[in-house]
Structure 1
Amino acid sequence: MTQFGVPPNGTRDWTAQGCGNSIACSQTDPPFASTEGKTEKGFGGGVSGFMIESVVATIEVKSLLDQAAIDQSVRAASNAKALTPNVTKSFSSGWVPPKILNFVVAYDGPAQMSTAHGWILNSHTSLGIPLPTWTQQTKINTPGTALDGVFLLQKGFIKLDNSPLSLNSGVNPFPGIHVVCDSPTGNLLMLFLNLQEACNNIEGAWLNPVPYVQTVRYPQVRVI
């Protein structure tokens, strides 16, 4: 059974920009990654890389949440979701996130979470990143296209509503893709439950290393 945890020596301002096809780069907040094997690669300067196959989620911590901060996070999350894990799968039980999850936690920001939600919509428009679409039947198998959640301490949270943990799961759920909540408490609990939900599964999957070596030139290779 796969065990998950936060790898050591993580950094703070996570971004996937400038990384290879299947490497997620970290600059301070560690990705939430598998601990079955060591998959961290240090590049120096406080930058580490993790094989995308080992990463479940990223958490970016910000002192202040504003439009510029959301723009950066949406761009990085979109880049992360564009990475393709090279794995072979045989079976799964429980809900397995269809893509890497990307979260933001902020200490300070707007008084109302609707303001932050507007910033997210602005970022998608200005960066040309489409918003996800789904039906009630397909939503838990449809990945987001950028951020999956924004959590503002003592203010509230915004959560993409495409996982089994939903606050919009009544007999007649409201249309929409985001759950927006203004609350002084319970925000980190929701983040923790999102992470727990993403790991509460069993999946028979293993690394396919072939794509990693297809573009590598090894000199003087001989078969004897």
Structure 2
Amino acid sequence: IPSGQAWLVTTTAAREHTTIDQDATCWRAHGVVHFTLQWHNVWQTEISESIAIENELRLANGIALQTIPKVATSWTLVVMNWFLLNDLSPLADVIRSLVRSVTNSLTMATAIGFEDCLGLQDDNGDSVAQKEAFRSTVGPFLVVDLVYMALPRAVVALYEAYQTARFDAVVADAMASRPAAAFTPAPPSLTLDPSVVFYGGNPLCLYGDPLPYVQELFGFTDGCNSQTQF
């Protein structure tokens, strides 16, 4: 498609010749005014905070206050959304296009199922156990948008009230000897029924064994290597 090739040439060179303000203006002109970065655990994003101290000679020295380094992680969220870049590889292998109006579109027979690339089905092509539970309640894999959500104010208020009450109790009886206590926060309706088993608390982990106890919930660095009791 000549127009598509021209667009590609222009777009790939735009970064070198376009300012941030020009880029934002272009998006807004086409009705795009907001962008939400999806959550991922491909890596831990590097964040640094620093200050600059300037002396009488107007010479400034930078001082790092705190730094969180960039660290590669497990990328367990790949089953939820592997991003556009990874859509291109299987398309290139079979010479298909994301452009739906062309003769070799990915929608043409035989249509490409990106979900098949994950190999999550059994030998019969069916989703079973955790995978079936996810697909029947949430939807297909690879098309799930993950974004941060702020905690409800009621939850924050409950947490703060608990912390205040606990601190006051410790201060009032600081010298008292208190035995260690273990908590297993789960509804009795689940834990008292011997027929109920738990496969895990992280929807990114799809190969857990059925166990008789509630397990640790979702975590950024959870590599799905163990099933720890909650």
Q: Using structure 1 for the length normalisation, give the TM-score.
A: 0.20
Kindly indicate which of the two structures has a greater share of residues assigned to strand: 1
Kindly indicate which of the two structures has a greater share of residues assigned to helix: 2
Q: Which structure ranks higher in relative contact order (CA pairs < 8 Å, sequence separation ≥ 6)? A: 1
